[in-house]
Chain A
Amino acid sequence: SQWGEENLQALSIQEGEDVTMNCSYKTYTTVVHWYRQDSGRGPALIILIRSNEREKRSGRLRATLDTSSQSSSLSITAAQCEDTAVYFCATDAGLGGNEKITFGAGTKLTIKP
């Protein structure tokens, strides 16, 4: 779980395995964003799941959202070496249209060949 953590977490798996990263958030949100950041680059959105959705899929990615427990997960099926990156979840307050977007500490995922 990356929210509320001060430090980056690390996961290392073999190519072809499945992996799930978790995110617990503390405040109300209308949406959870999942980003990946490649070394030396800015973060890039990979999947977005709204509070009225329980699951969202995009290719080998699957995001879930449980608003009652204030948690989200990102799963990657059959991980490939190019999935190596840092993954972040982010939430937005969405209160009265004030879009304050804050990020968790992130998970550094390494896929070994």
Chain B
Amino acid sequence: EAAVTQSPRNKVTVTGGNVTLSCRQTNSHNYMYWYRQDTGHGLRLIHYSYGAGNLQIGDVPDGYKATRTTQEDFFLLLELASPSQTSLYFCASSDPGTGNNQAPLFGEGTRLSVL
């Protein structure tokens, strides 16, 4: 069954802390995405990738780094976390082309609090 798994599901850190959010997909999808979702708002694209070693800048990249180490694994790095980065983070994967694989399949999210 197609799956996107995020870890951890919840994370609390302090201002200035170093945080890594992990995402693994077992769908053999080429594209992977990191979004953030804030209360009352939609999903905003942080970074995305179309393959191992590739990184594309999204719409809200400031303060975030990302790395795609393999086709399966995509990491989001916050090297100096700030309270403004308190949010719900979603990872997704997709495979452009025909059919519903074109639409991102989402994980269950990671809730990050920066105190």
Flag if B103 contacts A98 (CB, 8 Å).
no
Flag if A45 contacts B103 (CB, 8 Å).
yes
Closest beta carbon of chain B to A28's beta carbon, Å? 15
A-side interface size class: 20 to 34
Flag if B41 contacts A7 (CB, 8 Å).
yes
Flag if A7 contacts B33 (CB, 8 Å).
no
In B5-56, the 8 Å CB interface with A consists of 31, 33, 35, 40-45, 48, 50, 56
Bound CA–CA A92/B50 (angstroms)? 14
B-side interface size class: 20 to 34
Flag if A8 contacts B41 (CB, 8 Å).
yes
Question: What residues of chain A lie closer than 8 Å to B92, measured between beta carbons?
Answer: 42
A11 at the interface (CB under 8 A from B): no
Bound CA–CA A48/B102 (angstroms)? 9
Bound CA–CA A106/B43 (angstroms)? 9
Proximity bits, A78-113, B CB within 8 Å = 1, else 0: 000000000010101010011111111110000000
Question: What residues of chain B lie closer than 8 Å to A8, measured between beta carbons?
Answer: 40-42
In A43-76, the 8 Å CB interface with B consists of 43-45, 48
B100 at the interface (CB under 8 A from A): yes
Flag if A41 contacts B108 (CB, 8 Å).
yes
Question: What residues of chain A lie closer than 8 Å to B105, measured between beta carbons?
Answer: 45
**Closest residue of B by beta carbon distance from A46:** B103
Q: Point out the residue from B40, B42, B100 that lies within 8 Å of A45, measured CB to CB.
A: B100
Flag if A105 contacts B42 (CB, 8 Å).
yes
Bound CA–CA A88/B103 (angstroms)? 13
Bound CA–CA A76/B49 (angstroms)? 34
B63 at the interface (CB under 8 A from A): no
Bound CA–CA A105/B43 (angstroms)? 7
Flag if B96 contacts A97 (CB, 8 Å).
yes
Bound CA–CA A61/B90 (angstroms)? 25
Flag if A106 contacts B104 (CB, 8 Å).
no
Q: Point out the residue from A33, A42, A102, A105 that lies within 8 Å of B103, measured CB to CB.
A: A33
Closest beta carbon of chain A to B26's beta carbon, Å? 15
Interchain residue pairs with CB less than 8 A apart (7): A2-B42, A45-B105, A48-B100, A88-B43, A90-B104, A101-B33, A102-B59
